[in-house]
Amino acid sequence: MASRYPFPASPNGWFGIGACEDLAVGDVQAVRYLGRDLALFRGGDGTARVFDAHCPHFGAHLGVGGRVCGDGIACPFHGWRFDGDGALVEVPGLDRPPRAGAKAWQVCECNGRIFVWHHADDVPPSFDVIGYRQDESAWTPWRSNSYRVRVHVQDLTENIIDRSHFSTVHDMKPPVLEHFEVRFSGTSMVVDQRLSVTAVSEVGFEVSTTTTTCGPGIVAVEVSQDPIEMLTYITQTPIDDELTEVTLCFSMKRLEDEAATESISELNDKVTNLQFSQDVPIWENKIYRERPIITKVDGPVAQYRRWFRQFYSNGNELLES
C-alpha cells in the first residue's frame, strides 16, 4: 500500500472486526486486522475482548488454543493467565507473577458488530460508534456479506460522494427530483440524496437516502420511503497494507406483510451486493491520483479528502504536502 497511497494504511477510528453473535462466551478466535495479529475472545462476564495476539512470555498466539479463564485468557503454551484488562495474574508454579501483560484494545459492541479502537499514537477514543435500530425487535435480523478488497479505506468511501460514477459503473439514471447534498460534521460525513436504482429493473425506482459515516471505518445508509425503512450498515477495516475487509449488513423494519418484508430484503441485498461488486474491479486496479482533475459533475472530492485527513496522526503534514 505504501507505494499505492501517500498515507498510512490504518487511519485512526473504530473498526469492525466481527459479528457479536459469532462470539459466544468462552469463544477464542485468532484474527488479523490493522496490520496486527489479534486474539478475540468473550470473557466469562460476557464482554468481548481483543488482546495483542502474542504472549509476552515466549510469543505464543493467545488466539490459537488460548482458553478463556474468568474475564481473561490463559496462554496455550505455558499457561500464563491474563485478566480482562490484559494484566498477567498467574504463572503456573510461581507464587507471584512478574509484572507483564498483553495489550488490551478498546472494544465496543454496537449494531450487532464488534469494534476495536485503533489510534497510531494510542490516543483513547474521541468519538462513539453511532447506534441504529434502537427498537431491535421491530427490525429483521442482519443479513451480512464480507469481502476482501485490494483498496485503501479512504479510496473506498470516496465512492459515496463520487456522483459521476453512479451512471457508468452502477447504471443509475439521474432521478427525476435531483438532490445531492453533502455535509461534513466532525467525524461524520452526511450525504442526503435521491437515487434512481435501475440495477434490477429497467424502469428503476426512486428512493431518498441518507448516508452517514462514523469515522473512517463505518458507513450507514438509511432509506426511508413510507412504509419502508431500510438500513445498510457497512464496516470497512484495513487487514494489512494491501487489503480491506468490507462487511455489508442489511436490516429493515418489519412490514405487516412478512412475505413482502422478505422479498424486499432479498431484493435489496441483491442490489447492494451487485453494486458493490461493480465497484471492485475499478478499486482494485486504479491508482490514487493526489491531484485529480475535478470537474463540476464530480462530487466534493477535495472536501472529502481534506475531511478524511483528521483520521491520520500526521494529517497536518499530509495537508501541507
- Residue 138: CB atoms within 10 Å: 11
- In this structure, are residues 227 and 261 in contact, taking their beta carbons and an 8 Å threshold? no
Closest distance of CB 201 from ligand FES, Å: 57
159 binds, among Fe ion, ligand FES, none (CB under 5 to 8 A by kind): Fe ion
How many residues bind ligand FES (CB under 6 A)? The answer is: 10
Residue closer to ligand FES, measured from CB, 75 or 195: 75
Residues from 63 through 122 that contact ligand FES (CB under 6 A): 75, 77-80
To the nearest 5 percent, what fractions of the chain are helix, strand and coil?
Answer: 20, 35, 45
d(CA 308, CA 249): 23
Phi, psi of 166 (to 5 degrees): -60, -40
221 binds, among ligand FES, Fe ion, none (CB under 5 to 8 A by kind): none
Phi, psi of 80 (to 5 degrees): -60, 140
Q: For Fe ion, which residue of 31, 279, 299, 304 counts as binding (CB under 5 A)? A: 279
Residue closer to ligand FES, measured from CB, 73 or 195: 73
Among residues 146, 108, 157, which one has the least CA distance to residue 245?
146
75 binds, among ligand FES, Fe ion, none (CB under 5 to 8 A by kind): ligand FES
Residues from 131 through 160 that contact Fe ion (CB under 5 A): 159
d(CA 38, CA 62): 8
Q: Which residues make beta-bridge pairs with 238?
A: 244
Region binding ligand FES by CB under 6 A among candidate stretches 3-11, 58-66, 275-283, 302-310: 58-66
Which residues sit at the interface with Fe ion, rule CB under 5 A?
Answer: 159, 279
Binding residues for ligand FES (CB under 6 A): 55, 57-60, 75, 77-80
